[in-house]
Structure 1
Amino acid sequence: MKSVNKSILPAYKGCLSEPILPRIVFMPKNSIYPNHLHDYGEFNFCYRGVLNIQINEKHFLVPPQYGLWLPPRIEHIASNDDEVMHCSLYILSEYCDGLPTEPTILILNPLIRSILWYLQEKSVIDLTSNKDKRLLQVLVDQLSEMPKVASYLPMTNHRILKPILQFLDKEPNSSLSLPDLAKQFNTTERTLIRHSKKELGMTLSEWKQRLRIIKSLSLLDTTDYTIESIAFELGYNSASAFSSVFKKLMKMSPMELRKQLRDF
């Protein structure tokens, strides 16, 4: 069980002073926002690191380039293993029309990411400025149009899948094929395919690729390992294979993300 070294108090317990309020927060390693809810919606985006949001038994991982939308009055716990810098955008319920009615991961377009980075660089938003208010409204309008995915890296307590996912989490460089995994965990390939589609919404192969990308973020940020070294560390046969998967999921190359993090 990981040790939690810092508890962070949620912001704006009462009413919001503005319809749309951004808040940028640094979370040290192993921090946590205890279980809480808001009367307003909340959108979370990570500039660096990965945020883990727990809602009942469901976990949402929020890596850079993606965002998590939480409708009003959803109880949740937020935590992280490595350092995280994130933006929480709080939105009054009457401004949430068009946004999902369930917690969901949003795939963000370049305009949204640019606005979010602008908020971070500016650090202090002038909420009396009509220009900044319009910018925040554009951000909310854009969020309502983004593609949705149930979860970037879904988890499950399914009795067959859970031990396999735990194994892959500990051994992301494992080269075991689907038949090999089925044999090692005393099940069948067909059973794994069926339950993966039902419980995860994706194949085990896709889940493992997403896991590897999550693992690579910390290595890109906190080490000077070459892209090739990171690729081999995570079980890829070449740097090009790793870079191809990374760019498909993160919308930029590993080197581009590393530069963004180092310039942060």
Structure 2
Amino acid sequence: MYDLADHPADRAAAPIVGEYWDEPGSNSVSWHSHRRGQLIYAQRGCVRVHTEDALFVVPPHRAVWVPPETIHAAHYPREVAFRGLFVIAALCATLPQRATVMQVDPLTRELIDAAVRLPWDYPADGHEQRLMTVLMDRLVVLPAAPLSLPEGRDERVLRVMRALRADPADNRSLGLWARSVHLSERTLTRRFAVDTGMSFGVWRQQLRLTVALERLAAGEPVTTVAIDLGYGTPSSFTTMFKKALGVPPSTYFSRGLLSHDSAGSDID
């Protein structure tokens, strides 16, 4: 196994290289960074990517773009088919400058799968480079998906976040949460907005969405996930899910749905 602090992709001759592997069980990759930008894509399964600022949950049809020199960690809770790209910093200017979840359409999915299987010493004037050029053109235009969960900085905001991560179904009101960390409701509201750019309610909903995606990707029933996350009925959970991601949870992981997938504006 290579040293993450000296990933061989950072020393490859070609400007864009890829790697792929299939893991039958859970796997974690500790905190590290690359000199190159990295696209983290789970063709099958689900991945959690942590940066210093946020958590990103990526089911199939999604990828996380991680800019060069961005410290991050990854966790694959169950079986995963990993496909990753490494792009030299000079080619990253037109891609997002912060870690971002991208929607991956069927064409880009096939391009990624082909690119990660190429040797790392392909010629600069061959068909391999042309494939990479087309792939980069596709990555630049992929829409962002609202699947990030910003991290708090204020210690009392973090205490609320930790408690909700431990029990996402906790339906306590903002006022009760504020009292639990010895703040006024107005102060906690303000600190949540400053730390995350979200209201408390939107952050809690986003947390539940990210947990739901991971569990649904593992094949758990919608009803079980909905009840475990604090929704009174599966229909109320489905309404939230469809508003956020454009399709109901029962069909989200089906192949071919991506062309109809439009992320909701209320959870940006």
**Could you say which TM-score interval applies, normalised by the shorter chain?**
0.7 to 0.9
For residue 23 of structure 1, the aligned residue among 19, 23, 26 is 19
The root-mean-square deviation of aligned C-alpha atoms, in Å, is 3.2
1:211-264 deviation line (CA, Å, top 9, x unaligned)? 112222343233553x2332122111222221232233344321223445xxxx
Q: Which residue of 2 aligns with 1:4?
A: none
Using the TM superposition, give the Cα deviation of residue 122 of structure 1 relative to its aligned residue in structure 2, in angstroms: 5.6
**Unaligned residue ranges in structure 1 (runs of 5+):** 1-6
The aligned counterpart of 1:203 is 199
Superposition deviation, residue 169 in structure 1: 0.9
Q: How many residues align?
A: 247
Q: Does 1:52 align with 2:49?
A: yes
| Counterparts in 2 of 1:209 and 1:88: CA distance versus 1, 3 Å | same
The CA distance in 1 between the partners of 2:194 and 2:179, in whole Å, is 20
In structure 1, which of residues 241, 255, 258 is the aligned counterpart of residue 236 of structure 2?
Answer: 241
- Hey, what's the Cα distance between the residues in 1 that align with 2:203 and 2:211? 12
Q: Is the 8 A contact 1:20 1:90 kept in 2?
A: yes
Partner Cα distance (1:251, 1:30) in 2? 29
Query: CA, structure 1 residues 245+151, in 2 after alignment: closer, same or farther (shift >3 Å)?
Result: closer
Rate the CA distance shift 1:221–1:178 in 2: closer, same or farther, 3 A: same
The 3 A distance-change label for structure 1 pair 139 and 12 is same
Match of 2:265 in 1: none
Q: 2:83 aligns with which of 77, 87, 103?
A: 87
Cα deviation per residue 1:150-198 (whole Å; 9 max; x = unaligned)? 9701112421111111111111112212122223332222112111111
Letter in 2 for 1:53: H
Q: Is the 8 A contact 1:119 1:125 kept in 2?
A: no
Q: 1:193 to 1:38 in 2, by over 3 A?
A: same
Give TM-score, length-normalised by structure 1.
0.76
- Bigger drift between 25-34 and 150-159 goes to 25-34
Q: With CA pairs under 8 Å and 6+ residues apart, which has the higher RCO, 1 or 2?
A: 2
Identity of aligned residues (%): 24
Stretches of structure 2 lacking an aligned partner (at least 5 in a row)? 256-268
TM-score scaled by length of structure 2: 0.75
Q: Which residue of 2 aligns with 1:177?
A: 173
Decide whether aligned partners of structure 1 residues 73 and 184 sit closer, same or farther in structure 2, where only a CA change above 3 A counts: closer
Displacement of 1:126: 4.9
CA contact (8 A) 1:8 1:31 kept: no
Q: Distance in 2 between matches of 1:8 and 1:242?
A: 42
